[in-house]
Structure 1
């Protein structure tokens, strides 16, 4: 590639980056401005007198409907929901993928086909049956109910990822371990788990993003005290006490999005490595 073509490519990439980052800049700049500066200044201008008061209000005492506790309790709800759901669905998906590749049984292909179908079932289809199920087991309007919902819905994806990854593991290795007397869980723990780091990162990032950003399940299945941060953010933005506080809304949106941004910044390279190591094979 000659120098002109290289510079042209860099220019296009720079414009694409600026276009992508422009909304984030507007959100950050607006969240650090006072209402007077927002009214009098430009949308993309940097704040002249930065203030963190909108952030403090969004976190601790902004109104989300009739409650004025900020996003703090709902942020905690999302953490209590997301971390267990990610870990449980990833571990069960690993066991399922292992069983479907190296401990095949009658009907395993049919079961895998059903799991694939589960990946494409719209959220809206499962709302009524899931609501009846949560009511029957006593998990309605609770964080544990949301954990259950996300584990069940995420199993199809995590099983698919792990199954396609474990196809690349030589079957002779597993057969040799069986001959040596290793059982199902011993093979999984001693042979499969040590080489599963990349695909675990793929599943953790995928599940964390899907669960943390979910709104539909949160607004349908959560009670007033178990709503995730996405539902609280919607309520905060829609709640008005006479003056629309755009700076507080922007700060709240960044707070709600911060965990997923952090995960991608810290572990994004592992996500790509996991995909290229076999997460989309087969």
Structure 2
């Protein structure tokens, strides 16, 4: 009986150790964010705070300095929300249409076009910084939230197209052909047949895009202006701001605030992400 249950116990033990290993940094950040300066200097890194002190959270949100700007992370957080929400929705919708065309409405050269689009999945983003900055300059979108939205839509298009195209190849073509015989056109088939069947891959793509866009630093630091910096740039500026005494509790609170939206997304919708992947998001 002991031998029978040993493999399962061993698996659970390994998973528990892995979970503790990956959760340890989050614990350190949370514990440090609730400590005051005296406890940080005298205590242990892993010790729990004597009392929950929310002053560092308030400072990180509304009054901590990022360079010469002492408004905390709030304006950067708002910028990230304004940038991420439309960028995620547009890139997901755009990828869904592309995947629909490339899988169910194939045309001459569609496979070649899809192959070229795949280059965007593997291309380092550093390669496109200069041409993207030139395009944004031509469009008058340099150093603006609109420019960041456009950059993230284009950068994420190859990945979203790949997700949807591979998912839609599993849809029986007879279903689409039957709808066409009944007189349904391109958009009616898309909205009445394909989209209702796309819930798993929609969840995968939305979560994937939101995580990538919210956590992005490269495009944020390269294409943002003084009033359009996302939260990752604000967090970096806050951590690198020189002061007489380093406020580790404020920095840790700021780091948790910056990562909180993506953590909430995975906690609330993580099961849909796993179901979407197993339903065919990376199949084909």
Alignment match, 1:261: 263
User: Within 5 Å, which residues of 2 pair with 1:49-198?
Assistant: 49-198=51-200
Question: Counterpart of 1:27?
Answer: 29
Question: Deviation at 1:224?
Answer: 0.6
Task: Note the C-alpha offset of 1:20.
Answer: 1.4
Distance 2:281 2:16 in 1: 30
1:220 partnered with 2:259:
no
Q: How far does residue 144 in structure 1 lie from its aligned partner after superposition?
A: 0.5
Partner of 1:270: 272
Match of 1:246 in 2: 248
TM-superposed CA distance for 1:3, in Å, is 3.0
1:235 matches 2:237: yes
SS at match of 2:132: helix
Residue-by-residue CA offset, 1:12-63 (whole Å, 9 max, x unaligned)? 2222221111111110000000010000011100001220000000000000
247-256 vs 6-15, greater mean Cα deviation: 6-15
Structure 2 alignment gaps of length 5 or more: none
TM (normalized to structure 2)? 0.98
CA distance in 2, matches of 1:256, 1:235: 13
Q: Deviations over 1:173-198 (max 9, x none)?
A: 10111111111000000000001000
Cα separation, 2, equivalents of 1:54 and 1:82? 26
CA distance in 1, matches of 2:8, 2:162: 39
Q: Render the CA deviation track for 1:120-158: whole Å, top value 9, x for unaligned.
A: 110101100000000000100100100000000101000
Which stretch shifts more, 13-22 or 162-171? 13-22
Q: Aligned partners of 2:200 and 2:153: how far apart in 1?
A: 21
Separation in structure 1 between the aligned mates of residue 208 and residue 107 of structure 2, nearest angstrom? 28
Select between 98-107 and 53-62 the one with higher mean Cα deviation. 98-107
Rounded Cα–Cα distance in structure 2 between residues aligned with 1:113 and 1:10: 41
* Cα distance in 1 for residues equivalent to 2:238 and 2:143: 20
| In structure 2, distance between residues paired with 1:212 and 1:144 | 15
The SS at the match of 1:2 is: helix
